[in-house]
Amino acid sequence: MALPIEPRPAQPGRVLGRVVRRKEDPRLITGTGSYVDDLRLPGMLHMAVVRSPHAHARITGIDTGRARSMPGVRAVITGEEVKDLCGPMPVGWSLQGLKAPVKYPLALDRVRHVGEAVAVVVAESPAAAADGAEAVQVGYEPLPAVTDPEAAMQDGSPLVWDDVPNNIAARFPLSGGDIEDAFRKADRVVKLRLVNQRLVPVPMEPRGVVAQAHPISGELTLWSSTQIPHILHALLPGLLNVPETRVRIVAPDVGGGFGCKLNLYAEEILAGALSLKLGRPVKWIERRSEHFMATIHGRDQINHVEAAVSGDGRILGIRARIIADIGAYHQLLTPAIPTFTPFMMSGVYAIPALDVEVIEVFTNKTPTDAYRGAGRPEATYLLERLVDTVARELGLDPVEVRRRNFIKADQFPYNTVSGLTYDSGDYEGALNKLLEKIDYEGFRRQQQEARQQGRLLGIGFSTYVEICGLAPSRIWGALGAGIGGWESATVRISPAGRVTVVTGTSPHGQGHQTSWSQIVAETLGVNYEDVEVLHGDTAVAPHGLDTYGSRSAAVGGTAVYMASVKLREKARRIAAHVLEATVDDVEFQVVDGQGRFHVKGAPQRHVTLAQVAAAAFTAHNLPDDVEPGMEATVFYDPTNFTYPFGAHACIVEVDPEDGRVKILRYVAVDDCGNVINPQLVEGQVHGGLAQGIAQALYEGVVYDEQGQLLTASLTDYAVPTAADLPSFETDRTVTPSPTNPLGVKGVGEAGTIGSTPCVVNAVIDALAHLGVRHIDMPLRPSRVWAAIQQAKASGGGQPA
């Protein structure tokens, strides 16, 4: 497409780059939003799921008789019938040698994790469905469970799937550079074993679905609290054996996702299948306790890392073995997520050699999949803990070690040892800005003084780069994705001058209605208020690849921008015709907030965009080769990923008596390229920091040896409240991305990625002089206290 897509400057424009009130908010602050559970349809039935209380068991029989006879119960479905209703659950990623056992939405004869769906009951009310589900009698013969991935790989371990030896689902190697040479040259080898613990996503809106099949036409509309209506639209018709043309997927207001709604779940398939079978709408709303066991978990890696290091703190190479505990079977992207970690393992540093093997292991736990960051936080955690450990072992300053290893600002585009090409960056610039905000030397003095009084203060740093803007379709395909990575946008102007944007992205809190309106208002010279954005309904926005992986701004936003430019070009041609000038002689300009075209050098000879739109619709006087109407559609496939980065610092105080960690300051300098709306960027950073800090200090899934989930509710799984988090100090540098004309990179996950190691580094810094080298997350008071005791007992401390 030969469009003159000029890159946008980094400076804020009239609307773009500025704070505006969000378009989403009026409905959300007045209680008039529409989430899935708010949907009420005539004749609607309610579904409840019977779930396995065992981690591993054979199903010996299911008695549904009593449930079927309960008042209001309309259907009970078990594994026996499920094969007649739908196909097996798809896996959306392929890896060489991947073991992908067939899995149906209901267990057939064996359950493999606590919470696996065994049967569903459909009834006239939620209460009747719950009563019915309770009445289903399932016989189980417990089998030995395996919950430790390292034990699961051993010969003789119980098998989650009989035909998957050693429970190994896949091995994914990634290497670059000469690793042997690196270790030969090394002055020192620094080793770490890190556990990146399992997390539960916990968006505040649980999952939910309403399926409405029309009994006569066979049309199926499915509302789901999902991030991916388009991907569901690609998958569900085949699974339910309905023509794609008769399926419509709607993502209404969605109350957060964080990756866990980037999936196709058993309940979505079952609700659709049962609505088709019964001819009535079927609703299922996840209870929070179900969320803990039946929605994907995140992270869960054990990292064995070894770095070859020179005496002056340069990292010459990294060897790592990553054991990813992926749970009992694959959800949509389960196999993909751990493979993202090695790609980002050289981070912001010029590391010449890398040799990693990822081993994905089945265990009797809930499957893992994408959770905010999805493989990248694991890489950053590993690397930033490693860099701090290198500094500590060499007696160097952690800031200095980072500087010595940084990729320099003049080295971009930079080809990493893992095969990526970083688009742009200035890592030292971000770090310098960070250091301006904290008096580092002053803090070190304060730390010394505090130690004299028995107080434990610590500072931690983290400098990170992440990968966004998923994805160039070709690369995505080569990596194993089952789908492309482009995005589409349509921009149209009505005869009355209102602008409608149709986007293939599917927001769930990010504020796309606001951001996309800003892009269009700026580009076309229309009022922000006059732009509306439609999304999340395949009947309205048929083409798109949805919202995840911080792709929306870089790919979806760019598509919106390009569609606006394309539309403006069409308008320019009509304007030239009306003004009786050549197209090249006509310029676009925004005057008093209004877009208009004028003849070069003769601004008085002009028409407004609104006048052009009117002309395009009356069509009385259009150039021969111009169609009536004012609409443009663009499919944009990026040529590269984008690479946001940043530098964070955290200051903590540890109570030596009870091990409590208090964050005294958290300072974040992030660079996400050009900014569409500073307030929304800041909001994303805040939320990301909260989740990253939560991993460092509070959250963690615990299973016992029998595979029972001990953290099965908000009572035992510690999602932090306002009182558990500090106020964050945020700032940014701006390094535009050359990959897209908006110069944007993405910011959805940055805070999460940068903050986790930063907090842990701070705590270790506070305790290092006592001899504490590492503590696995979450750094609960009891763990911190135990680490202090252990260090004291082994006399590992240095003088303060």
Partner 1 sequence: MSQDSRVRVRIRVNGDVHEHEVEPRLLLVQYLRDVLGLTGTHVGCDTSHCGACTVLLDGEAVKSCTVLAVQADGGEVTTIEGLAQHGRLHPLQEAFWEHHGLQCGYCTPGMIMSALDLLNRHPDPDEETIRRGLEGNLCRCTGYQNIVRAVQAAAARMRAAEAAAAAGGGDD
Partner 2 sequence: MIPAAFAYHRASSVDEAVRLLQELGDDARVLAGGHSLLPAMKLRLARPGAVVDIGRIEGLRGIRRQVDHVEVGALTRHADLAAARLPAGLEALAECADRIADPQVRRRGTIGGSLCHADPSADWPAAVLALEGQLVLVGPGGERVVPAAEWFVAPFMTALQPGEILTAIRFPVPQARSGSAYLKLARKASDFAIVGAAARVTVDGSGRCTGAAVGVTGVGDVPYRATAVEDLLVGRVLDDQVIAEAAARAVEGVDPVSDVHAGAEYRAQVAQVYVRRAVQEALGRALSQPA
Establish if 357 lies at the interface with partner 2 (CB under 8 A): no
Helix (H) or strand (E) run with residue 769 in it: none
CA pair distance 468, 281, nearest whole angstrom: 38
Residues ≥6 apart with Cβ < 8 Å to 667: 434, 437, 438, 648, 649, 650, 728, 729, 730, 731
For residue 188, give both structure tokens.
Answer: 């020192």
CA pair distance 257, 14, nearest whole angstrom: 32
Q: Which listed residue (33, 53, 88, 256) binds ligand FES by CB under 6 A? A: 256
SS3 track for 75-86:
EEEEHHHHHHHC
Give the nearest distance from C-beta 78 to partner 2 in angstroms.
Answer: 21
Pair 245, 280: CB distance under 8 Å = no
Pair 318, 305: CB distance under 8 Å = yes
Residue nearer to partner 2 on the CB measure, 126 or 256: 126
CA pair distance 617, 317, nearest whole angstrom: 63
Considering only residues 181-210, where is the footprint of ligand FES by CB under 6 A?
204
Residue nearer to partner 2 on the CB measure, 468 or 701: 701
Pair 390, 313: CB distance under 8 Å = yes
Give the nearest distance from C-beta 133 to partner 2 in angstroms.
Answer: 10
Among partner 2, ligand FES, partner 1, none, what binds residue 22 when CB lies within 5 to 8 Å by partner kind?
partner 1
Q: Which listed residue (400, 627, 657, 705) binds partner 2 by CB under 8 A? A: 657
Residue nearer to partner 1 on the CB measure, 176 or 206: 206
Burial 613-632 (b: 16+ CB within 10 A, else e): bbbbeeeeebeeeeeebbbb
Residue nearer to partner 1 on the CB measure, 37 or 355: 37
Among partner 1, partner 2, ligand FES, none, what binds residue 683 when CB lies within 5 to 8 Å by partner kind?
partner 1
266-278 and 229-240 helices, crossing angle to 10°: 50
CA pair distance 489, 740, nearest whole angstrom: 15
Q: Which listed residue (126, 683, 726, 771) binds partner 2 by CB under 8 A? A: 126
User: Residues binding partner 2: what is the number (CB under 8 A)?
Assistant: 27
Establish if 126 lies at the interface with ligand FES (CB under 6 A): no
Residue nearer to partner 1 on the CB measure, 256 or 429: 256
* Contact positions vs partner 1 (CB under 8 A): 21-22, 24-35, 37-38, 40, 127, 202-206, 253-256, 258, 285, 287-289, 508-511, 679-680, 682-683, 686-691, 713-715, 719, 721-723, 725, 727-728, 751
Residue nearer to ligand FES on the CB measure, 22 or 648: 22
Among partner 2, partner 1, ligand FES, none, what binds residue 26 when CB lies within 5 to 8 Å by partner kind?
partner 1
Q: Which listed residue (130, 159, 435, 438) binds partner 2 by CB under 8 A? A: 130
Give the nearest distance from C-beta 703 to ligand FES in angstroms.
Answer: 24
Residue nearer to partner 2 on the CB measure, 205 or 355: 205
Q: Helix %, strand %, coil % for the chain, to 5?
A: 30, 25, 40
CA pair distance 463, 757, nearest whole angstrom: 9
Residue nearer to partner 1 on the CB measure, 375 or 687: 687
Helix (H) or strand (E) run with residue 437 in it: helix 427-437
Establish if 69 lies at the interface with partner 2 (CB under 8 A): no
Q: Which listed residue (307, 698, 760, 765) binds partner 2 by CB under 8 A? A: 698
Helix (H) or strand (E) run with residue 745 in it: none
Residue nearer to partner 1 on the CB measure, 158 or 683: 683
Instruction: Report the chain's C-alpha Rg in angstroms.
Output: 28
Establish if 751 lies at the interface with ligand FES (CB under 6 A): no
Residue nearer to partner 1 on the CB measure, 29 or 800: 29
DSSP codes joined into one string, 47-116 = EEEEE-SSSSEEEEEEE-HHHHTSTTEEEEEEHHHHHHH--PPP--B--TT-------SS-SSEE-STT-
The CA-based angle 486-489-495, given to 5 degrees, is 170
Bridge partner list, 792 = none
Pair 773, 764: CB distance under 8 Å = yes
Give the nearest distance from C-beta 257 to partner 1 in angstroms.
Answer: 8
Establish if 797 lies at the interface with ligand FES (CB under 6 A): no
Choose the binding region for partner 2 from 137-145, 505-513, 599-607, 652-660 (rule: CB under 8 A): 652-660
Among partner 1, ligand FES, partner 2, none, what binds residue 687 when CB lies within 5 to 8 Å by partner kind?
partner 1
Q: At residue 792, what is the residue type?
A: K
Pair 120, 105: CB distance under 8 Å = no
Quick one: CA torsion of 791, 792, 798, 800, rounded to 10 degrees? 120
Bridge partner list, 199 = 298
Residue nearer to ligand FES on the CB measure, 204 or 723: 204
Pair 405, 383: CB distance under 8 Å = no
Residue nearer to partner 2 on the CB measure, 287 or 404: 287
Question: The dihedral of CA 761, 766, 768, 771: what is its sign?
Answer: negative
Choose the binding region for partner 2 from 74-82, 441-449, 460-468, 655-663 (rule: CB under 8 A): 655-663
Among partner 1, ligand FES, partner 2, none, what binds residue 782 when CB lies within 5 to 8 Å by partner kind?
partner 2
Binding mask 755-784 for partner 2 (x = CB under 8 A): -------------------------xxx--
Establish if 716 lies at the interface with partner 2 (CB under 8 A): yes
Establish if 646 lies at the interface with ligand FES (CB under 6 A): no
Question: The dihedral of CA 14, 17, 20, 24: what is its sign?
Answer: positive
Residue nearer to ligand FES on the CB measure, 510 or 737: 510
Residue nearer to ligand FES on the CB measure, 452 or 721: 721
Among partner 2, ligand FES, partner 1, none, what binds residue 680 when CB lies within 5 to 8 Å by partner kind?
partner 1
Residue nearer to partner 1 on the CB measure, 657 or 716: 716
Q: Which listed residue (509, 544, 746, 754) binds ligand FES by CB under 6 A? A: 509
For residue 714, give both structure tokens.
Answer: 């908000």
Burial 473-503 (b: 16+ CB within 10 A, else e): eebbeebbbbbebbbbbbbbbeeebbbbbbb
Establish if 722 lies at the interface with ligand FES (CB under 6 A): no
Give the nearest distance from C-beta 249 to ligand FES in angstroms.
Answer: 22
**8-state DSSP, 165:** G
Considering only residues 479-538, where is the footprint of partner 2 by CB under 8 A?
none
Among partner 1, partner 2, ligand FES, none, what binds residue 113 when CB lies within 5 to 8 Å by partner kind?
none
Establish if 658 lies at the interface with partner 2 (CB under 8 A): yes
Helix (H) or strand (E) run with residue 387 in it: helix 376-394
Number of Cβ atoms within 10 Å of the Cβ of 791: 18
Q: Which listed residue (496, 602, 702, 800) binds partner 2 by CB under 8 A? A: 702
Number of Cβ atoms within 10 Å of the Cβ of 578: 18
Residue nearer to partner 2 on the CB measure, 591 or 710: 710
Give the nearest distance from C-beta 255 to ligand FES in angstroms.
Answer: 6
Residues ≥6 apart with Cβ < 8 Å to 793: none
Establish if 721 lies at the interface with partner 2 (CB under 8 A): yes
Among ligand FES, partner 1, partner 2, none, what binds residue 480 when CB lies within 5 to 8 Å by partner kind?
none
Binding mask 659-688 for partner 2 (x = CB under 8 A): xx----------------------------
Give me the residues that bind ligand FES (CB under 6 A), please.
Answer: 204, 255-256, 509
Give me the residues that bind partner 2 (CB under 8 A), please.
Answer: 126-127, 130-131, 134, 287, 289, 657-660, 698, 702, 710-711, 716, 718, 720-724, 780-782, 785-786
